[in-house]
């Protein structure tokens, strides 16, 4: 008998602004009894709900159950900055330029399949442009080094035939209203989502076809005969096939131990403000989305609903193998974020941050997912390497294909990836990873 006690449950520190301003629109059900299904998906984020959607297409009539420890959109899926990016975006490499053209072509193909899959769901479930906006994104540069990173990135995109446009200081000022940026690089293929609205829209759209249980953490997973039994607080789930869609928490279930890097990143969202109060153009266009030219810099987004706008800023990375960060840490980072924000928008100095929060990423040293059949009937669609809106969507789609023996060229290529490479032992890993992050953050300087 294979039995796995779940060592840690997700801890989501600080309330996500995206979740706070999103409406839910479907009932909340927790597990109160024993439930049997054909499929159990653990985790209702991008991977879990995408796996559920794909399974519902591949196995019409099967009973599909999705379970989450918290509530849809309250965990990381509703805490991110909402960039669904098609072009290469490797956070850990220090820059975005394309090194291996063949691998990049495959990565772009996979990212675009995931974005198309999400776009179909967005259309089918009637998501608005505020929720799912194919606007593209800008890599913004605030330093000479940032400009040079953008230039290199642009050259490598040109080499592989990817559309992009370099923007100058004046264009950046027109878009953002800020004098902070020296230039930018626009790529058109990114979709900007309101992450909490998107993930809730996906869950709501799937509900007629799936059963969803929230606030129902899986505490133990046991193989019993041909089934897997998942024990939760007030009941059990039994199913012959289970998909683990818990990102870094796959390690809490006992898999991919010492192979995954648990990195936290942090965000703050302003209170809603009326741009007119500050002289109209101080925050530029109605909505825009900036990634940093240096991956360790600040991600900054403006959203508008009616005449009110908000700005969201994401900065910093910390290595937290305990999969937990404190409220104190979130507050400390929010103070730094305030400085970054004020430097960009001095006229908005008095607009407070209404929400500050943190969320977990899972990275592997060799930039591969924790994917595959880890035991008979138990599949992993985990470790999104920092870009889960797209990569976890794709992992969920691929896990559904793998678990239903659906042969595809795409799955063959995805399956062929190596295992996440082992981490060095502690305390070496902690010292090494923190030192690299800190050095790269300091090097990013004004980009952060």
Of 446, 445, 441, nearest to 91 (Cα)?
A: 441
Closer Cβ to ligand FAD, 69 or 437, answer by number: 69
Closer Cβ to ligand FAD, 89 or 446, answer by number: 89
Rounded to whole angstroms, the Cα distance separating 13 from 166 reads 37
3-state SS, 402-422, equals HHCCCCCHHHHHHHCCCCCCC
Output the six-digit token pair for 34.
């024993």
Q: What's the min distance (Å) between Cβ of 320 and ligand FAD?
A: 12
397 near ligand FAD, judged by CB under 6 A: no
Q: What's the min distance (Å) between Cβ of 389 and ligand FAD?
A: 3
Rounded to whole angstroms, the Cα distance separating 237 from 221 reads 9
390 near ligand FAD, judged by CB under 6 A: yes
Rounded to whole angstroms, the Cα distance separating 191 from 115 reads 8
Residue in the shown chain whose Cβ atom is closest to ligand FAD = 388
Output the six-digit token pair for 44.
């209702």
47 near ligand FAD, judged by CB under 6 A: yes
| Residue 167 β-bridge partners | 184
184 near ligand FAD, judged by CB under 6 A: no
Site string for ligand FAD, 226-245 (x = CB under 6 A): -------------------x
- Among residue numbers 54 through 113, which ones bind ligand FAD (CB under 6 A)? 67-70, 75-77, 79-83
The stretch among 46-54, 154-162, 181-189, 364-372 that binds ligand FAD (CB under 6 A) is 46-54
Residue 185: is it exposed, middle or buried by C-beta count within 10 angstroms (0-12/13-18/19+)?
buried
Instruction: Kindly write down the DSSP assignment for every residue of 142-162, as one continuous string.
Output: -SHHHHHHHHHHHHHHHHTT-
Backbone φ/ψ region at 362: left (φ over 0), alpha (ψ -120 to 50), beta: beta
Site string for ligand FAD, 154-183 (x = CB under 6 A): ------------------------------
Of 6, 36, 3, 2, nearest to 240 (Cα)?
A: 36
267 near ligand FAD, judged by CB under 6 A: yes
The stretch among 121-129, 173-181, 203-211, 389-397 that binds ligand FAD (CB under 6 A) is 389-397
Closer Cβ to ligand FAD, 267 or 378, answer by number: 267
- Which residues here bind ligand FAD, judged by CB under 6 A? 6, 9-10, 42-48, 67-70, 75-77, 79-83, 217-218, 245-247, 249, 265, 267, 314, 359, 361, 384, 386-390, 392
């Amino acid at each position: 008998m294979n039995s796995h006690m779940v060592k840690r449950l997700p801890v989501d520190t600080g309330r996500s602004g995206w979740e706070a301003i999103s409406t839910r629109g479907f009932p909340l059900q927790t597990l109160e009894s024993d439930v049997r299904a054909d499929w159990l998906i653990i985790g209702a984020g991008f991977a879990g709900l995408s796996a559920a959607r794909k399974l519902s297409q591949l196995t019409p009539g099967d009973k599909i159950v999705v379970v989450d420890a918290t509530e849809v959109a309250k965990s990381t899926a509703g805490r991110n900055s909402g960039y669904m990016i098609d072009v290469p975006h490797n956070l850990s490499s220090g820059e975005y330029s394309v090194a291996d053209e063949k691998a990049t072509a495959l990565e772009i193909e996979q990212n675009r399949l995931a974005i198309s899959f999400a776009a179909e769901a967005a259309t089918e479930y009637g998501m608005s442009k505020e929720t799912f906006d194919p606007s593209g994104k800008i890599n913004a540069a605030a330093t000479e080094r940032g400009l040079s990173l953008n230039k290199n990135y642009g050259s490598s995109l040109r080499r592989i035939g990817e559309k992009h446009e370099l923007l100058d200081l004046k264009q950046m000022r027109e878009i953002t209203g800020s004098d902070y940026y020296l230039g930018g690089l626009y790529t058109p293929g990114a979709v900007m989502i309101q992450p909490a609205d998107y993930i809730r829209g996906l869950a709501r759209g799937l509900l007629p076809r799936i059963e969803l249980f929230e606030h129902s953490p899986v505490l133990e997973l046991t193989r019993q005969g041909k089934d897997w039994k998942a024990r939760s607080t007030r009941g059990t789930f039994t199913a012959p096939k289970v998909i683990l869609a818990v990102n870094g928490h796959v390690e809490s279930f006992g898999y991919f131990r010492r192979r995954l890097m648990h990195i936290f990143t942090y965000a703050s969202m302003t209170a809603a403000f009326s741009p007119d109060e500050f002289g109209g153009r101080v925050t530029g266009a109605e909505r825009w989305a900036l990634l940093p030219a240096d991956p360790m810099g600040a991600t900054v987004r403006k959203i508008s609903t009616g005449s009110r706008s908000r700005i969201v800023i994401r900065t910093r990375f910390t290595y937290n193998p305990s999969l937990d960060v404190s409220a104190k840490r979130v507050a400390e980072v929010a103070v730094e974020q305030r400085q970054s924000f004020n430097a960009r928008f001095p006229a908005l100095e008095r607009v407070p941050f209404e929400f500050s929060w943190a969320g977990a990423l899972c990275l592997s040293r060799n930039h591969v997912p924790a994917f595959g059949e880890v035991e008979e009937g138990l599949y992993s669609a985990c470790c999104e390497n920092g870009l889960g809106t797209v990569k976890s969507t794709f992992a969920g789609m691929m896990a559904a294909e793998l678990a239903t023996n659906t042969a595809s060229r795409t799955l063959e290529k995805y399956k062929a990836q190596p295992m996440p490479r082992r981490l060095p032992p502690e305390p070496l890993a902690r010292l090494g990873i923190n030192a690299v992050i800190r050095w790269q953050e300091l090097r990013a300087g004004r980009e952060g």
